[in-house]
Amino acid sequence: MNEPIPVTRDVDHGTAKLMPDVDRERAWLLTVDGAPQSYVDLDEPTHLEFEYTRRLGHVLDTLAEPGRPLDVLHLGGGAFTLPRYVAATRPGSRQDVVEADRGLLELVTEHLPLPEGAGVTVHAADARGWLEAAPDGSADVIVADVFGGSRVPAHLTSVAYAREAERVLRADGVYLANLADAAPFTFLRAQLATFGSVFKELALIAEPAVLRGRRFGNAVLVAAHHPVDTVAVTRLVASDAFPARLEHGAALREFIGGARPVRDEDAVPSPEPPDGAFGIG
């Protein structure tokens, strides 16, 4: 049997690499310009290697009764880790994946094809442009995991963008986003203020060391018009190999402090990660 070999290709927004995992037979790591983007196990789509994807998966698991199909819009494609997870855990779900990098889409669909009947439709488009054209009330969940290089693009951080997300979600829908920041959390606090100006309920999931300002890291934003199951999510994220904490209510309002919602004209990308924050050796 042939050993899988790494694949390197110039895509629209950098150099992408697919690297096989020596410990898992059909598992692959996708990087773009050295920054890890996705990890996929083709034989075990429910295996979520990255901590932040597990946290997103935990929230997805609690949004409806187990196995119930959902309509999910993924902004940012990567190697389709979470679309594969939802297709496996909630068969019959209808999912759209929007990825601006057409070259990256071609690389992933060629080497890591989605299974037959996965119910996933892939679109080469800008995330906000696609969102603005999407029908009202057409999604149960929006998962935003969009990075231009290692930064969230500015046009996906404003109140106008958050209002489009709310419009596309059903009344009981949930918006999830992977964000990244470090103390003093200027970007993260502003994002919470922005989505808090549009949605009634907010929660934030991150490692305690990140929340205490000890290091740069990922944080998962949860926004909805109804309370999410914070007890269940707290239990799930606390039981991970790298435990995380869920903040909501008064503690989260205190974290947000005096941060103001972001207008389109003031929007900036998320901060550049420090050297080595997410790199692969």
pLDDT digits (tens, 9 = 90+) for 137-165: 999 999 999 987 788 999 999 999 999 99
Q: What is the pLDDT of residue 204?
A: 98
3-class DSSP assignment, residue 246: strand
**Res 182: pLDDT:** 95
213 three-class SS: coil
**The two structure tokens encoding residue 234:** 């707290």
| Average pLDDT across the chain, whole number | 94
For residue 250, report the phi and psi dihedrals to the nearest 5 degrees. Answer: -60, -40
Q: Is the peptide bond before 66 cis (omega within 30 degrees of 0)?
A: no
SS3 call for 119: coil
User: Where do runs of H (alpha helix) occur along 90-215?
Assistant: 102-111, 127-133, 159-168, 186-196, 208-211
Task: Give the separation between CA 6 and CA 19, rounded to whole angstroms.
Answer: 5
Residue 166 Cα to chain centre, angstroms: 17
Q: How far is CA 231 from CA 54, 90, 228, 236, 245, in A?
A: 17, 22, 9, 9, 11
CA pair distance 91, 41, nearest whole angstrom? 18
Q: What is the pLDDT of residue 3?
A: 73
Burial of 131 (0-12, 13-18, 19+ CB in 10 A): buried
In angstroms, rounded to a whole number, what is the distance separating the alpha carbons of residues 52 and 32?
18
Predicted pLDDT at 150:
81
Q: Could you please report the per-residue DSSP string of 57-86?
A: HHHHHHSSSTT---EEEEE--TT-HHHHHH
Q: How far apart are CA 71 and CA 234, in angstroms?
A: 24
pLDDT at residue 275 in the model:
72
Q: Which residues of the chain have pLDDT under 70?
A: 1-2, 276-281
What is the rounded CA–CA span in Å between residue 47 and residue 54? 9
Interior CA angle at 17 toward 12 and 23, to 5°?
155
Count how many Cα atoms sit within 13 Å of the Cα of residue 247 in the half-sphere of its side chain. 20
d(C-alpha 172, C-alpha 228), whole Å: 10
Q: Are 132 and 164 in contact (CB under 8 A)?
A: yes
Which residues sit opposite 29 in a β-bridge?
Answer: 19, 39
